[in-house]
Amino acid sequence: MQVLRTEISGADLVGWGVRVLLVAQEGAAATDTAMKRVAGMGGQVDLEGEFFAGLSALMDDPRGYGLFVLLCDDFGGLEAGHRAVSLLRGAGCTVPCILVASGLAEQSFPEHRDEPVLLRAPLSAVSLRVGFEHALRERMLWSAA
């Protein structure tokens, strides 16, 4: 598992201090881009290159992570992403999820907390920021209070 942490200081960053589990193919350009963008928003990124090892890490420490991001194209597409979310929810893990896939017709920002945010690949900085803010909206409300 690779861990990326930023040295940026500033509480105005969207994901300041949130620990993010990114499940994606290690060494791929899309993975490196996603890691840098999440870290640039203040997230502490843990990268896992194997699908089931990533899910296991999240299930073993559900309170240790504030966000789960899956680059679905690396593991069989959007169906794999929905399967991952279903397995997590079935195990009682309620961590917010972002699924990134190239096969999406449109991005989705659901109202219900248990549903994943769906973002189109290739991942842009703007869509990731909006998805990040949406997935972590409850965390942001608590920090504003």
What span, in angstroms and rounded, lies between the C-alpha atoms of 27 and 133? Answer: 26
- Residue 9 above 50 pLDDT? no
Which domains can be identified in the chain, with CATH numbers? 2-144 (3.40.50.2300)
- Residue 8 above 60 pLDDT? no
More confident residue, 129 or 141: 129
**Pairing verdict, β 44-48 and 117-120:** unpaired
Beta carbons within 10 angstroms of residue 56's beta carbon? 14
Q: The pTM is what?
A: 0.86
Write down the mean pLDDT value for the chain.
Answer: 87
Q: In a 10 Å sphere around its CB, with 0-12 CB exposed, 13-18 middle and 19+ buried, how is residue 90 labelled?
A: exposed
Chain-centroid distance of CA 144 in Å reads: 22
Kindly indicate the confidence band of residue 142, based on its pLDDT and cuts at 50, 70 and 90.
Answer: very low
Chain-centroid distance of CA 145 in Å reads: 24
